[in-house]
Amino acid sequence: MSKRENDSKRGRNGRAAQLKLAVLISGSGTNLQALIDACAEPDYPARISLVIANKDDAGGLARAAKVNIATQIIRHKDFAEREAFDQALSDALEAADIDLICLAGFMRVLGATFVEHWKDRLINIHPALLPSFKGLHTHQRALEAGVRIAGCTVHYVRADVDVGPIIAQAAVPVLPGDNEDNLAARVLKQEHRLYPLAVELIARGLVHVENGRVRIEEADSRAEDAALINPPPFG
């Protein structure tokens, strides 16, 4: 949504309308929790209308229920074809009049028809600095590769897995003695900062996809001197 479009969707109080989010989960939902917490702030320009899980035991369902967010379970196992599962998701999202879908540890690959239908209204968080380490076991592979900086990425979803215009990234150092678990925990902590930031930028109409890449109004120039160097320089 452009800034102008969002500005034109003003509520009775004169504030820009809040972006209606759906969050899709498969697991514990700590990123969902970060979005719930952000949406609880009065000035945050989005709210969560719907949480969908593809599994009954997704822990995030309880997080949503606790704050009275509508939840649905759409089990991929109930559908013989991926397209029928995707269509059921789409129908639920359309019925809830969703502006932006946030994949938050949603461990099903969505088909090209779904992705095209929701193009630029569908974002994902991935626990690596894309385009490095797409797919699963990202932290193990980052450790094996010996990278000194790891991180996470929020990006618009395209038909290929973990591909699409990058909205925001956060970087963390890889430290001596790291294993998969503590590197994952260090990255996850930053995911919880990054996802609400990315959603806020979109909701404020500051994110533009141009020629397959993202331009962000206002923010980019502020990052000019930011650097994470690992190992840290002397002095």
Residue 30 C-beta: closest distance to ligand GAR, Å: 3
* Catalytic position from the list 117, 126, 155, 208: 126
Residues of this chain that interact with ligand GAR (CB under 6 A) are 25, 27-31, 104-105, 125-127, 188, 191
Tell me which residue has its CB nearest to ligand GAR: 105
Do residues 187 and 132 touch, judged by C-beta distance below 8 A?
Answer: no
**For strand 213-216 and strand 207-210, is the pairing parallel, antiparallel, or unpaired?**
antiparallel
Clarify whether 76 is annotated catalytic: no
User: Which lies closer to ligand GAR via its Cβ, residue 33 or residue 49?
Assistant: 33
Task: For residue 204, give every residue at least 6 positions away whose Cβ sits within 8 Å of its Cβ, in sequence order, or none.
Answer: 3, 6, 16, 45
User: Which lies closer to ligand GAR via its Cβ, residue 184 or residue 202?
Assistant: 184
Residue 24 C-beta: closest distance to ligand GAR, Å: 11
Query: What distances in angstroms separate CA 128 from CA 29, 141, 144, 149, 172, one per listed residue?
Result: 18, 10, 14, 10, 10
Residue 59 C-beta: closest distance to ligand GAR, Å: 7
User: Which lies closer to ligand GAR via its Cβ, residue 104 or residue 216?
Assistant: 104
Catalytic residues: 126
